[in-house]
């Protein structure tokens, strides 16, 4: 789990997203569907807070508002559903959502279609809030929007950090209010190790960022996430 958190933090710092895509399927396998998704939300919140202050000047706050408000509206009811869904169907949902989102992202990378207007921003934000609450994965929906709207990488990666912080806070607050026992029962030492892996991963990603092209990073994230999502999907189906 610590290795997954470390690699996810590296990807998050370099590409702006990828943390949840990388670690969500693996944590679901290690901690179960409910505990795994909750841990993804916790780790994603910490990593995004740390990165946010490093990229503050590049954040597009107008874009953030159009994404964040619909995301909150989607996160609350989806969090209610996620708390009461059985574990095996939730594991299948995590794997299927990640696989579908990654496939859509790959197919859309070479498309000539371009979206404009605020309604597409709101739709992307709402979808991101729902998938983050249910599967711990909020990045794919806004990634698809970024591809179709030709949103430049630098402000895209920066704006996602306060956006991820917002939806993680809403999702965690809702889930823990409904069922405080969902939080994995780690020792204090384990939580310190997890936090250390996030910080170390962000620092490592910052050093590597200047040497690795964005395209290579995104390709690596996609490959690892595909493998993890497929494994989680198969495990969930077997449990069913």
pLDDT tens digits in sequence order for the chain, 240 residues long: 899 899 888 888 887 766 777 787 788 788 887 788 888 888 889 988 988 988 899 999 999 999 999 999 999 998 888 888 776 787 687 678 777 777 776 776 666 767 778 999 999 999 889 888 877 777 777 877 887 788 887 898 899 999 999 999 999 999 888 887 777 778 899 999 999 999 999 999 888 888 877 677 667 666 766 776 677 677 778 877
| Domain region containing 233 | 2-239
The total number of structural domains in the chain stands at 1
pTM of the predicted model over 0.85: no
Closest CA to 105 of 223, 231, 236, 195: 223
Closest CA to 132 of 94, 182, 95: 94
């Amino acid at each position: 789990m610590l290795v997954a958190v470390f690699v996810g933090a590296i990807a998050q710092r370099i590409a702006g997203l990828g943390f949840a895509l990388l670690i969500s399927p693996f944590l679901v396998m290690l901690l179960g569907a409910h505990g795994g998704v909750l841990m993804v939300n916790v780790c994603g919140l910490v990593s995004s807070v740390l990165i946010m202050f490093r990229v503050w000047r590049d954040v597009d706050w107008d874009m953030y508002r159009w994404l964040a408000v619909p995301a909150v509206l989607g996160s609350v009811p989806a969090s209610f559903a996620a708390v009461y869904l059985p574990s095996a169907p939730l594991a299948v949902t995590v794997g299927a959502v990640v696989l579908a989102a990654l496939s859509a992202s790959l197919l859309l990378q070479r498309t000539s279609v371009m979206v404009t207007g605020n309604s597409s921003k709101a739709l992307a934000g709402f979808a991101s809030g729902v998938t983050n609450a249910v599967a711990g994965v909020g990045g794919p929906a806004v990634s698809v929007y970024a591809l179709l709207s030709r949103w430049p990488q630098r402000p895209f990666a920066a704006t996602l950090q306060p956006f991820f912080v917002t939806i993680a806070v809403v999702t965690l607050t809702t889930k823990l209010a409904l069922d405080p026992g969902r939080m994995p029962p780690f020792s204090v030492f384990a939580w310190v190790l997890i936090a250390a892996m996030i910080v170390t991963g962000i620092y490592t990603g910052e050093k590597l960022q200047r040497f690795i092209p964005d395209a290579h990073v995104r390709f690596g994230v996609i490959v690892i996430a595909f493998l993890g999502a497929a494994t989680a999907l198969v495990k969930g189906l077997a449990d069913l």
